[in-house]
Amino acid sequence: MSPLLDVRDLRVEFATRHGTVTALDGVSLRLEPGETLGVVGESGCGKSITALAIMGLIPMPPGRIAGGSIRLDGEELIGAPERRLRQLRGRDIGMIFQEPMTSLNPVFRVGDQIAEAILLHQDVSRDEARRRALDLLRTVGVPDPGQRIDAYPHELSGGLRQRVMIAIAISCQPRLLIADEPTTALDVTVQAQIFDLIRDIQDRLGVAVILITHDMGAIAEMADRVAVMYAGRVVEEGPADAILDSPAHPYTRGLIGCIPAIDPALAALDRLPPLAEIPGVVPPLHLLGQGCAFADRCIEAVDICRKVAPPLTGRGHAVACHLHAAAAASEES
């Protein structure tokens, strides 16, 4: 059976003042119906570019899809006419953005914005679209939806605005929901509510979810499978349990090491250990050399790491690291 989403060897370039940079370099991802794929990595690793490419929203120019394939239910999206992509966006692929205030139109009532999304893709009357908008506000847990349907975005809290965004994203019952850092702008308790809501919607609608985040805690809660991205490449990919329990790439280990482990006894004594950190920052794309992009931050780097970029190898749980490949090879022999 073919997957719902099959991204293969995707390459995206941008023309910049430093010349052409490769923002995505051979990214491959698969997503089955109803599954949650967590895409994790620091800012600048290519997570959001991947989402924009799937939605057909890479700004061209300066961007360019330089190679690869993106298939939704077998249909190739790269090169598809803009009219077809517009049909798919909103109807088959819903997107929840980081900051609802920049995605909602401040001068329209939220109910009208949800109804507009429905009218764009479904042959229903304005009255029916409003009735469905009201149902959607109920579904996403907006209290007092009869009143809130006529509110403007600035009259709602950040959490309620994100619920409205989710209502728009699911208004046409998409097959794929892309949530790009959906809780970044929210406080911790509201973050948990939004993740609960996304999970609840997934159970009810059977929608597949791509959850883009830098938060490994959210990945542990939500994801079936995980793709770890670094500098435009997938560096580790596999079942969430395998990656969280036995991370094989030094970058993944670093990300997991950054999750605070709170021991109540030590906390009471004010003696919690210092948080781990990954030294340095993601290198600018125009400065990437031939070797492993993580080499300058990797305490395990050896000579070959600076000369040759490691390929992603392994079935089921795949890793792009020379040391891991050497260890796996010696285990096999």
Residue ranges binding ligand SF4 (CB under 6 A) = 249-250, 292, 294-295, 298, 300-301, 305, 310, 321-323
Return the number of the residue (38 or 250) whose C-beta is nearest ligand SF4: 250
Query: Distance from CA of residue 331 to its chain's centroid?
Result: 34
Return the number of the residue (159 or 291) whose C-beta is nearest ligand SF4: 291
Return the number of the residue (119 or 285) whose C-beta is nearest ligand SF4: 285
Return the number of the residue (10 or 323) whose C-beta is nearest ligand SF4: 323
**CA pair distance 203, 209, nearest whole angstrom:** 11
Return the number of the residue (222 or 285) whose C-beta is nearest ligand SF4: 285
Closest distance between ligand SF4 and the C-beta of residue 306, in Å? 8
Return the number of the residue (94 or 250) whose C-beta is nearest ligand SF4: 250
Closest distance between ligand SF4 and the C-beta of residue 301, in Å? 4
**The 3-state secondary structure of the chain, one letter per residue:** CCCCEEEEEEEEEEEECCEEEEEEEEEEEEECCCCEEEEECCCCCCHHHHHHHHHCCCCCCCEEEEEEEEEECCEECCCCCHHHHHHHHHHCEEEECCCHHHHCCCCCCHHHHHHHHHHHHCCCCHHHHHHHHHHHHHHCCCCCHHHHCCCCHHHCCHHHHHHHHHHHHCCCCCCEEEEECCCCCCCHHHHHHHHHHHHHHHHHHCCEEEEEECCHHHHHHHCCEEEEEECCEEEEEEEHHHHHHCCCCHHHHHHHHCCCCCCHHHHHCCCCCCCCCCCCCCCCHHHCCCCCCCHHHCCCCCHHHHCCCCCCECCCCEECCHHHHHHHHHHHC
Q: At residue 132, what are phi and psi to the nearest 5 degrees?
A: -70, -35
Closest distance between ligand SF4 and the C-beta of residue 325, in Å? 8
**Assigned token pair, 71:** 């298939």
Closest distance between ligand SF4 and the C-beta of residue 321, in Å? 3
Closest distance between ligand SF4 and the C-beta of residue 280, in Å? 12
Closest distance between ligand SF4 and the C-beta of residue 307, in Å? 10
Give every CB contact of residue 273 below 8 A, 6+ residues apart in sequence. Answer: 266
Closest distance between ligand SF4 and the C-beta of residue 27, in Å? 17
Return the number of the residue (53 or 301) whose C-beta is nearest ligand SF4: 301
Closest distance between ligand SF4 and the C-beta of residue 231, in Å? 11
Query: Distance from CA of residue 25 to its chain's centroid?
Result: 17
Return the number of the residue (100 or 254) whose C-beta is nearest ligand SF4: 254
Return the number of the residue (182 or 250) whose C-beta is nearest ligand SF4: 250
Closest distance between ligand SF4 and the C-beta of residue 289, in Å? 12
